[in-house]
Chain A
Amino acid sequence: MSLFKARDWWSTILGDKEEFDQGCLCLANVDNSGNGQDKIIVGSFMGYLRIFSPHPAKTGDGAQAEDLLLEVDLRDPVLQVEVGKFVSGTEMLHLAVLHSRKLCVYSVSGTLGNVEHGNQCQMKLMYEHNLQRTACNMTYGSFGGVKGRDLICIQSMDGMLMVFEQESYAFGRFLPGFLLPGPLAYSSRTDSFLTVSSCQQVESYKYQVLAFATDADKRQETEQQKLGSGKRLVVDWTLNIGEQALDICIVSFNQSASSVFVLGERNFFCLKDNGQIRFMKKLDWSPSCFLPYCSVSEGTINTLIGNHNNMLHIYQDVTLKWATQLPHIPVAVRVGCLHDLKGVIVTLSDDGHLQCSYLGTDPSLFQAPNVQSRELNYDELDVEMKELQKIIKDVNKSQGVWPMTEREDDLNVSVVVSPNFDSVSQATDVEVGTDLVPSVTVKVTLQNRVILQKAKLSVYVQPPLELTCDQFTFEFMTPDLTRTVSFSVYLKRSYTPSELEGNAVVSYSRPTDRNPDGIPRVIQCKFRLPLKLICLPGQPSKTASHKITIDTNKSPVSLLSLFPGFASQSDDDQVNVMGFHFLGGARITVLASKTSQRYRIQSEQFEDLWLITNELILRLQEYFEKQGVKDFACSFSGSIPLQEYFELIDHHFELRINGEKLEELLSERAVQFRAIQRRLLARFKDKTPAPLQHLDTLLDGTYKQVIALADAVEENQGNLFQSFTRLKSATHLVILLIALWQKLSADQVAILEAAFLPLQEDTQELGWEETVDAAISHLLKTCLSKSSKEQALNLNSQLNIPKDTSQLKKHITLLCDRLSKGGRLCLSTDAAAPQTMVMPGGCTTIPESDLEERSVEQDSTELFTNHRHLTAETPRPEVSPLQGVSE
């Protein structure tokens, strides 16, 4: 990420799958040729040694065969190559090659080749040292101030410094406190070795101290004499830099100052001779190699730092002067004079990319990939645009109602409820009491016509009914597959569900040509569970507190034929009485009048009547349909039992209020708990610990209270849930009775149901009472309103939990009243009026005149919120966000 990239002067790829590291690159006039030009010497972990002398015909050329002066296989991994005056008696440059167990010094001589084949080199082994220990890296220099020759110091993997005076081995010393090797460098000014130890500090050892210290081989024996001997290896100075170092380098470009440069893993240091920090720079990327190369202006030093983001940065002290892109991650970088070109940057990557480059203002050609687009055809574009605009317009007009195109289903869903119970009941964890809970198997079959993705079946039944499994996933990879799943349904708790209907919903995506991800679609299928799943035959009782009577227009039917499974006695005289016994314990009795066309249902609990009443009516309809009678009808006369209904509402509401109180208490206690915690934390943090003053007891007590309150809230929630189920049953019954009473059509019943049974969950914040109240008031205001004046009534737009239920009760009574006076439930007449959009209750029609005035309001554009300027980049701390270039 930079404006510019390094200009390629010459590059090549070395070998095949060879590995290189920091020490493997060296630039020197190794064959001592007269023109003083540098050669590139590269060794690899594979054991190959290569010498290049690039002279490209033109910039950016690849390597020619004649550029390679020498390639030999040394059969041992090459760890480091250095060039220096390593042979005694001559000041010629020789090549030192470090293998893991061997140090070899070669003399390299060049021979002029014939016309077309270029020059070549020969290599002659001058001497070699076999090493006792595995070597790691080496440094060289005129140790001890000798003139005209270079000595070599090798660091082994286990921390021994071995010094070779050319052909002979001088001595070896163990570094104290050694664990892993660090970089090694020799400073000729102070005549000392510098390294970064495992203790993360820069350490400097004087050569003289090393030379006179106790010999390393005797280390074990002299353990106890160490303290007194005076010959112990003492460090000259140390500097704690707090990190491991990658490389260390000592430079002195003018006589006055020499600096120690240390490249850490996260910082870059420049130290004085005595180990004080001259400056440091925090790097926000991971560096890979560096090279302080020259001093352009007085007192500053330029440094090349390569990093793992393929960048090469050039710093003048701490100021970034240039940044350039490289095609690889450099593990070693050198600067040299090649082919009469001064200052060529030579970089080597760990997989063998060797590149000679120079800085230039070649822009890094970052090409933003094209946005995938279709060929522009303006005619087609217009047509499609028109079509889409039309669709959008239609959607907007129909107020969000999606145009339902009837078409063949891609998927067939069918549900079969088995007629018999499971032979072994699948019910687990039942809280019903003593009765044995049966379960019934439901089988869902899916059949697809086309390929569908991500088909998911979820099944829902009214609690307290429970399923053994309610989620299934399918994959329809080929057309016309049939999949079947089965699961069992049983009653879990000891109250009755509000409905026996279950719902199986399949959601899937249907891929199309334009949309390979698929268009999400949903299919649902309802099924009805048998009554006997929750109900047993029971003893009929003559007396009961709640009774309702259903009139029909046909002669009575024997209850035995209506409820064949529930005949408890075979006595013929009992056919007009039948008892039911719910698994939870409630008893219901159905009486059929012998003479009139009436049925009576009675029970101790109002809400329990619903299921049986509904079942009775359904079965009657079914029975007459079988008989071929078309005009069968039920009716209900007499007043709607609102009083009983209101009691249930009150009970539910009371529980809600109770829950709210409990939650308030809980939040109070939680605040108290946190306050005590904070106090305690402060106490514990204190340097001089103060007595706790029973704060711990208080904390404990509060904790117990919180737990108890949470339990109470949970219990209340359970009760509330049960109460809501009862309320739903009762609501169903009331709706049924109203429908029978006023002979409402199916549409009207649907409206009533929508008003009374909102789909959303009953929660503390938004509960049944206010939702239903809002819906009923809307009905009262619109289709059931008496005068237009009422229509203008404004309601508060926010739904809050009401103070009491009197308002709701009043509205329900009023609704029944209006219905009895001939009101009709119909929403189509006021479709022109604006509907509520986001929040119910917030809609009133506004006279048109107002609007025009507002639309010409002059400052309305100012009301827009400002455009959102996106933040430029999400930083991830582990990746440095910094790249670029300077000039």
Chain B
Amino acid sequence: MSSEMEPLLLAWSYFRRRKFQLCADLCTQMLEKSPYDQEPDPELPVHQAAWILKARALTEMVYIDEIDVDQEGIAEMMLDENAIAQVPRPGTSLKLPGTNQTGGPSQAVRPITQAGRPITGFLRPSTQSGRPGTMEQAIRTPRTAYTARPITSSSGRFVRLGTASMLTSPDGPFINLSRLNLTKYSQKPKLAKALFEYIFHHENDVKTIHLEDVVLHLGIYPFLLRNKNHIEKNALDLAALSTEHSQYKDWWWKVQIGKCYYRLGMYREAEKQFKSALKQQEMVDTFLYLAKVYVSLDQPVTALNLFKQGLDKFPGEVTLLCGIARIYEEMNNMSSAAEYYKEVLKQDNTHVEAIACIGSNHFYSDQPEIALRFYRRLLQMGIYNGQLFNNLGLCCFYAQQYDMTLTSFERALSLAENEEEAADVWYNLGHVAVGIGDTNLAHQCFRLALVNNNNHAEAYNNLAVLEMRKGHVEQARALLQTASSLAPHMYEPHFNFATISDKIGDLQRSYVAAQKSEAAFPDHVDTQHLIKQLRQHFAML
């Protein structure tokens, strides 16, 4: 059959059916038949077509929507001078998660990440980023599992997300970029776009910085070139002008240039490109990219306005609604976030992120039964992983459906993909044990959590409380110190330490720890009590 079919036709069909490996292999065979060096022979359109089809197939294999890629490396964080204001007004910045104006659950109920935001219901790349103030802080960020750890290099993530490096062919790269005459290709619009995507998505693993330069050049080349042509040919050829002009008006290239600028961290330039592209043609993607730029520039309000503007043009677009909800969530405005997530569900009621976020929101606002229904929905939809069962177990426990609790956790344990997850499940089991008053079991669970993840600060803290109840004060203190050094953003270890120190009469240390606790959670009433009491003590002395 295949022998009868035209190979290019078959390859094209493979591509459409997303059988990229077969497509690329077939194209390779076709290209091998007529040896060509680097660039396709312009005289043979078939080879040109095969060449570009292969490039597209290779790109699609590693394609990631650029909108979803949003992790900042240390270098990007530190060398970013785009910050608008050091002390922004409340509610206008993502850097200072504002205090909860809208009456969501407090920190005492819903745990926070190191960046000071409540834990979200859905793990996205960007939910983990918290910007440390200095390089030193960034490097010393406690490596506690997954609380806001900066990644060391941006090039690493591209390798991780798209496994392009593993796909490189044994006889060298498919397209040798350094030998590519970019100027030439920029004049061939039919090749240029596919080639650009290939370079942007497939090749970025080798030397990101260097290649981004290339990408930028390729992106800008047509742009600059057309500019130049525009002027030169103005005098020469009126007819050419119109085509050049229409080419110059290509919003797609502007978006690509914007993407390159964004990767290079030149947000203002990226913003300009995206804005100009939007003026030409309003597209959902462009709105998303521009909003991403604004989030990077720490202007959430502008991003929100932009999303709403996008919604006017594309009513009911799920990605835009979801973007709004995410920003509200990051700004600590839980009720608005939940509202928009509900809006998302009205448009697309299979949206996992929305279901999960609403579920966790209900859970933390003391409605475990409703949360349970959301999580059950996810389960029915076929999501089958440890996290979900963990959450189901917790919901069951708090909704007093004890029969399901342990089986859920059992499943969560058997499904846990890594030790961190298993540690969290054991930690929650410890909570259940505390809840039913079996301190021995609780003790063992927390110990198991620590066996699985030695940096589990919460488990250290709870173990300390148990030790304290047993009367082992020194052990409790040691554990609390470990916990607070692992997770300085948690107020519990500080407060516990302050209470213990207070009880054994070490008022000075108690005071210091209480102040740390207050810094981590200003509204905590017990801490305030303790500090007041200590102040009175000191005054008496």
The answer to whether A873 touches B387 (Cβ under 8 A) is: yes
CB proximity of A633 to chain B, nearest CB, Å: 42
With most chain A CB atoms within 10 A of its CB, the pick from B16, B119, B356, B377 is B16
Question: In the bound complex, what is the Cα–Cα distance between A371 and B56 (angstroms)?
Answer: 43
Q: For A350, what are the chain B residues with a Cβ–Cβ distance below 8 Å? A: 17
Size band of the interface chain A makes with B: 35 or more
Q: Does A65 belong to the interface (CB within 8 Å)? A: no
The answer to whether A854 touches B349 (Cβ under 8 A) is: no
Can you name the residue of chain A whose Cβ is closest to the Cβ of B428?
Answer: A867
Question: In the bound complex, what is the Cα–Cα distance between A868 and B120 (angstroms)?
Answer: 11
The answer to whether A681 touches B81 (Cβ under 8 A) is: yes
Q: For B63, what are the chain A residues with a Cβ–Cβ distance below 8 Å? A: 878
Can you name the residue of chain B whose Cβ is closest to the Cβ of A677?
Answer: B79
Q: Does B72 belong to the interface (CB within 8 Å)? A: no
The answer to whether A45 touches B381 (Cβ under 8 A) is: no
Known: A158-B45, A873-B123. A868 touches B424 (CB 8 A): yes
The answer to whether A859 touches B526 (Cβ under 8 A) is: yes
Q: For B271, what are the chain A residues with a Cβ–Cβ distance below 8 Å? A: none
The answer to whether A882 touches B352 (Cβ under 8 A) is: yes
The answer to whether A873 touches B352 (Cβ under 8 A) is: yes
The answer to whether B284 touches A282 (Cβ under 8 A) is: yes
Q: For A265, what are the chain B residues with a Cβ–Cβ distance below 8 Å? A: 60
Q: Does A884 belong to the interface (CB within 8 Å)? A: yes
Question: In the bound complex, what is the Cα–Cα distance between A21 and B18 (angstroms)?
Answer: 11
Partner of A320, one of B349, B383, B473: B349
Known: A179-B45, A267-B284, A886-B349. A3 touches B421 (CB 8 A): no
Residue-wise, chain A 875-887 has the 8 Å CB interface mask toward B (1 for contact) of: 1111001111111
Q: For A76, what are the chain B residues with a Cβ–Cβ distance below 8 Å? A: 4
Q: For B209, what are the chain A residues with a Cβ–Cβ distance below 8 Å? A: none
A1-52 with Cβ < 8 A to chain B: 1-3, 18-19, 21-22, 45-47
Question: In the bound complex, what is the Cα–Cα distance between A319 and B345 (angstroms)?
Answer: 10
Question: In the bound complex, what is the Cα–Cα distance between A838 and B478 (angstroms)?
Answer: 6
Q: Does B48 belong to the interface (CB within 8 Å)? A: yes
CB proximity of A135 to chain B, nearest CB, Å: 8
The answer to whether A838 touches B481 (Cβ under 8 A) is: yes
The answer to whether A179 touches B381 (Cβ under 8 A) is: no
Q: For B108, what are the chain A residues with a Cβ–Cβ distance below 8 Å? A: 866
Partner of B496, one of A1, A319, A863: A863
The answer to whether B352 touches A883 (Cβ under 8 A) is: yes
CB proximity of A789 to chain B, nearest CB, Å: 18
The answer to whether B191 touches A179 (Cβ under 8 A) is: yes
The answer to whether A318 touches B474 (Cβ under 8 A) is: no
Q: For A18, what are the chain B residues with a Cβ–Cβ distance below 8 Å? A: 1
Question: In the bound complex, what is the Cα–Cα distance between A806 and B120 (angstroms)?
Answer: 53
With most chain B CB atoms within 10 A of its CB, the pick from A177, A682, A850, A869 is A869
Residue-wise, chain B 105-145 has the 8 Å CB interface mask toward A (1 for contact) of: 00011110000000111111101000000011000000000
Partner of A100, one of B5, B64, B269: B5
Partner of A865, one of B189, B410, B458: B458
B349-363 with Cβ < 8 A to chain A: 349-353, 355-357, 359-360, 363
With most chain B CB atoms within 10 A of its CB, the pick from A19, A392, A876 is A19
Q: Does A855 belong to the interface (CB within 8 Å)? A: yes
Can you name the residue of chain A whose Cβ is closest to the Cβ of B45?
Answer: A158
The answer to whether B81 touches A885 (Cβ under 8 A) is: no
Question: In the bound complex, what is the Cα–Cα distance between A859 and B503 (angstroms)?
Answer: 13
Question: In the bound complex, what is the Cα–Cα distance between A326 and B244 (angstroms)?
Answer: 47
Q: For B18, what are the chain A residues with a Cβ–Cβ distance below 8 Å? A: 286, 288, 308
Question: In the bound complex, what is the Cα–Cα distance between A3 and B490 (angstroms)?
Answer: 39
Known: A179-B45, A280-B284, A864-B462. A869 touches B350 (CB 8 A): no
The answer to whether A884 touches B394 (Cβ under 8 A) is: no
Known: A286-B18, A371-B414. A871 touches B474 (CB 8 A): no
The answer to whether B347 touches A320 (Cβ under 8 A) is: yes
The answer to whether B391 touches A869 (Cβ under 8 A) is: yes
Q: Does A109 belong to the interface (CB within 8 Å)? A: no
Q: Does A597 belong to the interface (CB within 8 Å)? A: no
Question: In the bound complex, what is the Cα–Cα distance between A656 and B17 (angstroms)?
Answer: 65
Binds B, one of A478-486, A714-722, A744-752, A840-848: A840-848
Question: In the bound complex, what is the Cα–Cα distance between A878 and B64 (angstroms)?
Answer: 5
Residue-wise, chain A 757-799 has the 8 Å CB interface mask toward B (1 for contact) of: 0000000000000000000000000000000000000000100
The answer to whether A198 touches B478 (Cβ under 8 A) is: no
Q: For B81, what are the chain A residues with a Cβ–Cβ distance below 8 Å? A: 678, 681-682
Binds A, one of B6-14, B87-95, B217-225, B332-340: B6-14
The answer to whether B255 touches A392 (Cβ under 8 A) is: no
Question: In the bound complex, what is the Cα–Cα distance between A426 and B189 (angstroms)?
Answer: 65
CB proximity of A201 to chain B, nearest CB, Å: 9
With most chain B CB atoms within 10 A of its CB, the pick from A179, A288, A834, A848 is A179
Known: A838-B478, A882-B348. A240 touches B251 (CB 8 A): yes
Residue-wise, chain A 302-316 has the 8 Å CB interface mask toward B (1 for contact) of: 000000100000000
Known: A3-B381, A834-B474. A242 touches B283 (CB 8 A): yes
Q: For B407, what are the chain A residues with a Cβ–Cβ distance below 8 Å? A: 371
The answer to whether B382 touches A685 (Cβ under 8 A) is: no
The answer to whether A1 touches B477 (Cβ under 8 A) is: no
The answer to whether B79 touches A678 (Cβ under 8 A) is: yes
Q: Does B98 belong to the interface (CB within 8 Å)? A: no
Q: For B414, what are the chain A residues with a Cβ–Cβ distance below 8 Å? A: 371-372
Binds A, one of B30-38, B290-298, B316-324: B316-324
Partner of A860, one of B1, B255, B316, B465: B465
Can you name the residue of chain B whose Cβ is closest to the Cβ of A877?
Answer: B68
Partner of B352, one of A318, A681, A881: A881
Question: In the bound complex, what is the Cα–Cα distance between A884 and B353 (angstroms)?
Answer: 12
Q: Does A671 belong to the interface (CB within 8 Å)? A: yes
Q: Does B380 belong to the interface (CB within 8 Å)? A: yes
The answer to whether A681 touches B79 (Cβ under 8 A) is: yes
The answer to whether A157 touches B8 (Cβ under 8 A) is: yes
The answer to whether B350 touches A861 (Cβ under 8 A) is: no
CB proximity of A317 to chain B, nearest CB, Å: 8
Q: Does A424 belong to the interface (CB within 8 Å)? A: no
Question: In the bound complex, what is the Cα–Cα distance between A284 and B124 (angstroms)?
Answer: 15
The answer to whether B472 touches A834 (Cβ under 8 A) is: yes
Q: Does B69 belong to the interface (CB within 8 Å)? A: yes
18 contacts between A and B (CB under 8 A): A157-B6, A180-B52, A199-B190, A281-B318, A308-B18, A319-B348, A320-B348, A350-B17, A685-B266, A839-B481, A864-B461, A864-B462, A869-B111, A871-B119, A872-B352, A873-B383, A876-B161, A886-B350
Besides A2-B382, A318-B347, A366-B382, 16 more A-B contacts (Cβ < 8 Å) are A47-B4, A157-B8, A282-B319, A308-B18, A685-B269, A797-B481, A836-B474, A854-B503, A861-B434, A865-B461, A866-B108, A867-B428, A870-B390, A873-B122, A875-B353, A883-B350
- B residues apposed to A, CB below 8 Å: 1, 4-6, 8-10, 12-13, 16-18, 45-46, 48-49, 52-53, 56, 60, 62-65, 68-69, 78-79, 81, 108-111, 119-125, 127, 135-136, 161-162, 189-191, 193-194, 239, 250-252, 255, 266, 269, 281-285, 288, 314-319, 346-353, 355-357, 359-360, 363-364, 375, 377-388, 390-391, 394, 407, 410-411, 414, 421, 424, 427-428, 431, 434, 444, 457-458, 461-462, 465, 468-475, 477-479, 481-482, 490, 492-493, 495-496, 499-500, 503-504, 526
